Amino acid sequence: MKFHDPNQLLSGHEFCTAMVKLIEPLSIHSESQPPLICLNVKFLYGRYQKSSLTALCLGAYIVNLTLILHNLFIDMLTQEPPRPVTRELIDDTLQRYKASDIRRVHGLIRAIVDQMLTLHPEEKIADLIRGELGMETVK
């Protein structure tokens, strides 16, 4: 899937900042890690440390991004081709996701991360994404 994004809105600073802001609340309740750990996902990728907060933030970022891009794609299907990405469409998609799915999804991610020592969290995150998109999970 490739978005018609002539203004590169999905790779721009504003969209990246909005995506990172979605995971900031996850760091508020952590006593063992500084809250700044969720402020820069690129830093987390480059300096990955095995901690539950890092796993929580990365898992939430990946799930949020996947679900938001899926919702954006579905919204764009209703438009006439070539269906360019617009700032309004991105903002509407983000607002709907924040209003309806984010707390429940972050709760599911937190449950996966809490069980991280005995399970494979990356498989559980993939299953969560498939479940949210109504796809069959891999067994």
The pLDDT of residue 111 is 84
Which residues in the chain come in under a pLDDT of 50?
30-39
pLDDT in tens, 64-99: 999 999 999 988 888 777 788 999 999 999 999 999
| Confidence (pTM) | 0.76
What residues does each domain of the chain span? 13-132
How many angstroms separate the CA atoms of 116 and 111, rounded?
Answer: 9
